[in-house]
Amino acid sequence: MRWLLRVPRARQARSSLETTLGSSANSRIAFVTNGTVEADAAARRLSSRYGFHPLESCDVVVALGGDGLMLQTLHRVMPLDTPVYGMNFGSVGFMMNAFSEDDLERRLQSVQRTRIYPLSMEVLDTSGKAETALALNEVSLFRSTYQAAKIQIIVDGETRLEELICDGALLSTPAGSTAYNLSAHGPILPIEAPLLALTPISPFRPRRWRGAILSNRAVVKFITREAAKRPVSAVADNVEFQNVLEVTVREDRSRGVTLLFDPGTSLEERVLSEQFRY
């Protein structure tokens, strides 16, 4: 991920998203790219045309890349609560808008907003070390060797699955339900649904267990069995921890991020349309 650098301007008081992007005044924009030659060149042209502001004082971030860049950018701006408008320079672009250098200010003033919330992952590894990370898409557990993982699944303090023998398991947000969760044959969740998807990855026993749909208030704990013999890693989006013993996951509503979409192409609409693809 590449951030365009400019000499910082004097810090200005931030106005609200509604006031700034809904008014006729120009928005203060920061541009971020995926580092390709094409995206970098486009960002330079856009900066020259619409101006550039540092991340710390901008009203909106325009991300030029694919879904991977969007995910990285959302994590980067989460503490600042700055909205992100993506334009596709990647391969899939499920969370991106179509690229155009024209009428960017007008597009930003007419956007549809989607607010999403992360999962908080707490990890205890086999050495007793504790770690934490956030995931906007999913928290995943994976076997680290040729041997299948053995995982106990506890929901709200009650054991729901004594032993899942598998390649892994994941807990997905609605926003992430069309990503790896869908590839693992998990359910697609409406963006605004107060739900989480718990999905096994290549389950061996019980072979026919397809997972579960849980309340977003649920606290899910994964306990790895025979951890020394069957090592497991845990991943929150792009942050990975090795040799995990316990992983506890819950939704964190104290923080979130805002994605911006052109009218008629909201994330809600994209997730709905994905359910009718064949």
| Nearest in space to 260 (alpha carbons), one of 113, 61, 116 | 113
**Two tokens, residue 110:** 């007419």
**67 classed as catalytic:** yes
Beta sheet of 112-116, edge-to-edge order: 2-3, 29-33, 60-65, 84-88, 257-261, 112-116
Which bin fits 103, alpha (ψ -120 to 50), beta or left (φ > 0)? left
One-letter amino acid at 167 equals D
Catalytic residue among 59, 67, 125, 237: 67
Give the right CATH number for 119-251 from 2.60.200.30, 3.40.1350.10, 1.20.1250.20, 3.30.590.10: 2.60.200.30
Binding-site residues, in ranges, read 67-68, 137-138, 167, 175, 178-183
pTM (predicted TM-score): 0.86
Q: Give the separation between CA 26 and CA 24, rounded to whole angstroms.
A: 6
Q: How do the domains of the chain map onto residue ranges?
A: 2-116+256-274, 119-251
DSSP state of 7: P
Q: Which CATH architecture has domain 2-116+256-274?
A: 3-Layer(aba) Sandwich (3.40)
Q: What is the pLDDT along the chain (278 residues), one digit of tens a residue?
A: 554 433 233 333 333 333 344 443 578 999 999 999 999 999 999 999 999 999 889 999 999 999 999 999 999 999 999 999 999 987 778 899 999 999 999 999 999 999 999 999 999 999 999 999 999 999 999 999 999 999 999 999 999 999 999 999 999 999 999 999 999 999 999 999 999 999 999 999 998 899 999 999 999 999 999 999 999 999 999 999 999 999 999 999 999 999 999 998 888 888 888 888 87
Q: Give the separation between CA 199 and CA 181, rounded to whole angstroms.
A: 7
Q: Give the separation between CA 69 and CA 50, rounded to whole angstroms.
A: 21
Binding-site residues for NAD(+), in ranges, read 67-68, 137-138, 167, 175, 178-183
**Two tokens, residue 127:** 């050495």
